[in-house]
Chain A
Amino acid sequence: MTTTAHDAVLGWEATVTAYEPVMGLEVHVELGTATKMFCGCPTTFGAQPNSQVCPVCLGLPGALPVVNEVAVESAIRIGLALNCEIAPWCRFARKNYFYPDMPKNFQTSQYDEPIAFNGHLDVDLEDGSAYRVEIERAHMEEDTGKSLHVGGATGRIHGATHSLVDYNRAGIPLIEIVTKPMTGAGERAPEIARAYVATLRDLLLGLGVSDVKMEQGSMRCDVNLSLMPRGSAEFGTRSETKNVNSLRSVERAVRFEMTRHAAILSAGGSVVQETRHWHEDTGMTTAGRVKSDAEDYRYFPEPDLVPLAPPAEVVAALRASLPEPPVARRKRLQDAWGYSDLELRDVVNAGLLDLIEQTVAAGASPAAARKWWSGEIARRANAEGTDVASYAGQLGVTPAHVAELEALVTSSRLNDSMARQAWEGVLDGEGSPTAVADARGLQLVADTGALAAAVEKVIAANPEVAEKIRDGKVQAVGALIGQVMKEMRGQADAAAARELILSLLGQA
């Protein structure tokens, strides 16, 4: 091993000026099936070690695997959502290797016959442009067991005296999604890598095939990266950075590897083809296994499983059942709601899309729906350390409540400030908006006589302001409306007050 404690890196500007990155991403997704890929053991996270195992996933002699039908369906749906072709016939293969994380000494995977191939995923970038990520393949395989390394420093495999293995995870269905090499990304490579993984995560979440929790390992990303001098078309030697397990880390790992490669190349050295380990704490990678002699997995077709040949009508039915892709849905809703890019991004980031859609369906305007869901309730949810949707669920606050609240405003029963009070009452558990308004006596004064009296009194008390308005300075009306409100203890309809003041002062 030739690694130093800290690899040299070149500055970012110098890196992207001299070199063009070639990037490939491999994402492993654990499917959310109830059982494993080839046996009926449950897949519950965090169970007692080795309590979710059987002869099949322990690789005991004579045990025979049988494929999980839901896992196959999920694989096809993922392939279709990634615009892939679905193989009319394909097989599983044994990937042979000695490592205690698989008790069989092989992993059942797919080799030259993946179930899905040749797809693409369009990714939106911060500047509003899109980048098309070409998908090489999506294939089915099984997850490995989890190892604890004992006797070394802080659980590291280096220096460990022995390891302890839990096979609960061994055999959980995995889909590995592999991109084609991405070129032409330039300095945007880190952003594209992150945006791709984020878009993929949303897509998989929308399909309902996985919980895609990167922090729990149900979605894991490997970053393959090489550099070529600008103007060259010949790929350089790549490194493979394993287990980059957050969106931010994906971006940082690409950036770090680019600058590390650039430092080696610009000093006249050559990059070693090797596995790199990502370190979240330092934001750096360190050398792992050198790949040269290890890559002999002796794949061969799995003799214990028969081929899969998804009938065309099954694939067509799965295609028809796909949900609208998240990116398309956002564009459609943005057009329908008239939100700015910033407004849309805020509601997406706050996870408000579903709530707003339901609120609009319940009769509120898109603007009102956005206002109420991103206001007081978002502040309270944030203070509770949760998201608005979960918080609303706990409180029993529904889109229908928001629509009802807004209807009280549009029907002129409440003004905006009263509506805010009613909303606070709803959030405090006092009942529906109407019930809160009734209980708190929130009601605009419909009596035009009372309003007229208040307006006349305020005009008389503010002759200078009134004069300005008579002279055409209409914006000065705000000061008088405020006083009318005060006069009527907040129960005035501001719009009606404004209209009356302007009319009395000859500006209507």
Chain B
Amino acid sequence: MSELSRDAVAHLAGLARIDLADAELDRMVGELAVILEAVATVQQAPIGDVPAMSHPLPLVNVTRPDVVRPCLPAEDALAGAPEAEEGRFSVPRILSDD
């Protein structure tokens, strides 16, 4: 496993929209490195020629008919939203001022 760089952690934080201070970044590099190392143990599993899989069950073609099913009422859909306006989910400003 290649070393986890500070830049890589900063990049991940950016992708996850987590604002990390320098000190936090330094701490996370160490903590994430430990976690990655622990997870890396699975690389030692004797997989031989077992094909890569993305699902634990050997299933394919699980589909449903194109038939309408009941939806949530709009008020229920919005009930858990921190903010709603005009029947829509209200979200913070998307673009910054630049």
Contact = CB atoms under 8 A, between A and B. Distances in A.
Interface of A: 1, 33-35, 39-42, 48-55, 58, 66-72, 89, 91, 96, 98-100, 103, 147-150, 157-158, 160-167, 296, 298, 300-303, 305-310
Interface stretch (B21-29, B31-39, B64-72): B64-72
A160 B86 contact: no
A50 B74 contact: yes
Contacts of B7: none
A307 B88 contact: no
A303 B54 contact: yes
A209 B55 CA distance: 30
A54 B71 contact: yes
Contacts of B62: 66-67, 305-306
B78 A162 contact: no
B96 to A, nearest CB: 10
A164 B90 contact: yes
B93 A160 contact: yes
B95 interface: yes
A66 B91 contact: no
B60 A89 contact: yes
B78 A164 contact: no
Contact of A34 (B59, B68, B89): B68
A46 to B, nearest CB: 13
A72 B63 contact: yes
B87 A307 contact: no
Given A54-B72, A164-B85, A34 B66 contact: yes
A71 B66 CA distance: 8
A162 B71 contact: no
Contacts of B94: 99-100, 147, 149, 157, 160, 163
B49 interface: no
Contact of B54 (A147, A158, A301): A301
B63 A309 contact: no
Contact of B71 (A53, A158, A307): A53
B42 to A, nearest CB: 16
Contacts of B11: 296
Contacts of A39: 69
B88 A49 contact: yes
B15 interface: yes
A229 to B, nearest CB: 34
B68 to A, nearest CB: 5
A148 B83 CA distance: 14
Contacts of B83: 162
Contacts of B78: 50
A307 B70 CA distance: 26
Nearest to A90: B60
A298 B8 CA distance: 14
Nearest to B11: A296
23 contacts: A1-B98, A35-B66, A40-B68, A48-B74, A49-B74, A50-B78, A50-B89, A51-B73, A51-B77, A54-B72, A69-B64, A71-B66, A162-B92, A164-B89, A164-B90, A165-B88, A298-B15, A306-B55, A306-B59, A306-B60, A306-B61, A306-B62, A307-B60
Contact of B72 (A42, A55, A98): A55
B45 interface: no
Contacts of A100: 89, 91, 94
Contacts of B89: 50, 100, 103, 164-167
A409 to B, nearest CB: 49
B1 interface: no
B47 interface: no
A91 B52 CA distance: 13
A68 B66 contact: yes
Contacts of B67: 34-35, 40
B88 A166 contact: yes
A70 to B, nearest CB: 4
Given A163-B93, A164-B88, A306-B55, A52 B71 contact: yes
Given A49-B88, A54-B72, A148-B88, 9 more contacts: A35-B66, A50-B87, A51-B74, A53-B74, A54-B70, A69-B65, A150-B85, A167-B89, A308-B60
